[in-house]
Amino acid sequence: MSPEFIFQLQLVLGYVAWLLCFGVYIWPRLKSMDLFEAQRAIATLHSFRFFGLVFILPGVVSPHLPASFAVFAAYGDFATGVLAMLALVTARIRRLAWLFVVAFNGVGVTDLIVDYYHAIQADVPAHVGELLRDTYAIPVIYVPVLMITHVAAFYLMLRPLRRLRTIDASVSRDISKA
């Protein structure tokens, strides 16, 4: 098997494993929580994204790791982590905290999508072991749970809007019947 195939297989299996874990243990708990508290839990996980700066740390990754991937990934993760921390720090000022919740999720999901794009463009999967070295575990273990929790965060944020639309629709039906 080629290194590229092994990496892609591990990436897919990382998503499968996290989706199974998330579906059984994390998602039921998040859905049962107050919306803001669920977002705080997600922000807590993402507050560790400063760890992505490792992609620009000499000696940890290969000096041949393409800058088109490494720099954007490092600073995208860093920005997401700082925004998540700001969401946690401002929790007592709900309106401000919500701005940071939306911001860290928007920046974070954009970062991950663009990182995938840059990695493919720079042919990182074909040389992943040589290029990522000790950070190899980040894309196959850590990134899947980050993407899954961003999707969950957006779903949770949109859920109250769906409820309002359902209530509006049922009230409209009741009024039209009367």
pLDDT tens column, 165-178 = 555 555 556 566 66
**Could you list the residue range(s) of the whole structural domain that residue 60 is in?**
3-163
128/154 Cα distance (integer angstroms)? 30
Kindly give the parts of the chain with pLDDT less than 70: 161-178
Number of domains composing the chain? 1
Do the domain assignments include residue 169?
A: no
Do the domain assignments include residue 170?
A: no
Do the domain assignments include residue 177?
A: no
Do the domain assignments include residue 51?
A: yes
Do the domain assignments include residue 95?
A: yes
96/62 Cα distance (integer angstroms)? 40
Do the domain assignments include residue 168?
A: no
Integer CA distances (angstroms), 69 to 22, 42, 121, 143, 153, in order: 28, 25, 9, 15, 26
At 83 the pLDDT is 98
At 159 the pLDDT is 84
Do the domain assignments include residue 154?
A: yes
At 167 the pLDDT is 52
- The predicted model scores a pTM of 0.88
At 9 the pLDDT is 97
Q: Which of 88, 115, 111 is nearest to 101 (CA)?
A: 88
Do the domain assignments include residue 93?
A: yes
At 105 the pLDDT is 98
